[in-house]
Structure 1
Amino acid sequence: MAAGTEKRDGARMVCIENDMTILNAAALKKLLLDSLDSVPGLLLDLSRVGEMDTSGFQLLVLIKREAQVTGKGFRIASVSPAVEAVLDLYAMKDFFGL
């Protein structure tokens, strides 16, 4: 799994550079929850995600809900065509503010 992180205006920007599938869902979950825990907000760049399955989608829902419960910011900055297709399939672009 490749992912880069950087702090930007008090939030943490996480750029996922691999697939978001069942094969790496556990590692991504840890990365994203740890990132959310350490800053007041999380910004995701998903523009380099090559493939996303239901596990990847469920992970995004989990992170958004965890941010809401803990009063932290969460936003998806950009998406790849693969991510956009999954969000369209589940009619969830509005849920994520896209």
Structure 2
Amino acid sequence: MVKSEARRDGGQRLLIVGPMTLSTEAHWRERLLAVDDAQGDMELDLSGVSDIDAAAIQLLVRLRQRARGASRRLCLLAPSTCVHEALDFCHLSEFFEIPRAARP
């Protein structure tokens, strides 16, 4: 499930719930890249992610690179434990903007 809301500054905040894995990657890619095409910064609330794999990590990296290329921000809000573990394992925790309060 993806719940999207526009922010007052023109950015987007998305709540992602469920697995982000190879079997769901096409679904997430379609939805996230569509929102990424909008103007403004993007915040991804990953608190509801129940499972994540390399396909989803690759998608997040792609979103981060697209945002950077467009001089926009991509912020990961409240990553679930599995997201934190996957980012740490891939040495990507510092690559993404994750507010201090959201870090373990």
- TM (norm. structure 2) is 0.87
Separation of aligned partners in 2, 1:70 and 1:12: 15
Output aligned runs, 1:8-19, within 5 Å: 8-9=7-8, 10-19=10-19
Gap runs ≥5 in structure 1: none
Give yes or no for contact 2:52–2:82 (8 Å, CA) kept in 1: yes
Separation of aligned partners in 1, 2:73 and 2:94: 16
Q: Match of 1:91? A: 91
Q: Match of 1:60? A: 60
Separation of aligned partners in 2, 1:32 and 1:44: 9
Output aligned runs, 1:18-97, within 5 Å: 18-97=18-97
Separation of aligned partners in 2, 1:53 and 1:75: 19
Root mean square deviation, CA, Å: 1.0
Gap runs ≥5 in structure 2: 99-104
Give yes or no for contact 1:3–1:18 (8 Å, CA) kept in 2: no
Give yes or no for contact 1:20–1:49 (8 Å, CA) kept in 2: yes
Amino acid at match of 1:8: R
Aligned residues: 97
Residues 44, 67 of structure 1: alpha-carbon distance in 2 compared, 3 angstrom cutoff = same
1:7 maps onto 2:6 in alignment: yes
Separation of aligned partners in 2, 1:39 and 1:23: 29
Identity across the alignment (%): 28
Shift of 1:97: 2.5
Separation of aligned partners in 2, 1:40 and 1:97: 15
